[in-house]
Amino acid sequence: KAGVTQTPRYLIKTRGQQVTLSCSPISGHRSVSWYQQTPGQGLQFLFEYFSETQRNKGNFPGRFSGRQFSNSRSEMNVSTLELGDSALYLCASKPTPTGELFFGEGSRLTVL
């Protein structure tokens, strides 16, 4: 079974631009969640989608948004990028609400 796939793996943007990251979950997993990982703040929950509906949202500004498609693939978007948005963005899927998370390898975003 293929794992969680995130694209792109690395990207560089400048302040003010926007970025879209993609995540394909493990087949059959309907829950997809996103996390931001930085050295200063650690791993922080961004949001979770289940069956195309946002089920939970973390404490991030409205510049961070996401969506999920009918095939469970998910995208997250960050608009008006700031230097502090530089981070590793991790996507994870899980088979059940209480199940373990299966992570992708992440998208490393650098904002210049």
For position 110 contacting another protein by CB under 8 A, the verdict is no
Spatial neighbors of 107 by CB under 8 A, at least 6 apart, are: 6, 7, 8, 9, 10, 11, 21, 88, 89
For position 60 contacting another protein by CB under 8 A, the verdict is no
CA–CA gap between residue 68 and residue 62 (Å, rounded): 17
For position 97 contacting another protein by CB under 8 A, the verdict is yes
Q: Which of 21, 90, 109, 111 binds another protein (CB under 8 A)?
A: 90
Q: Which of 45, 73, 75, 95 binds another protein (CB under 8 A)?
A: 45
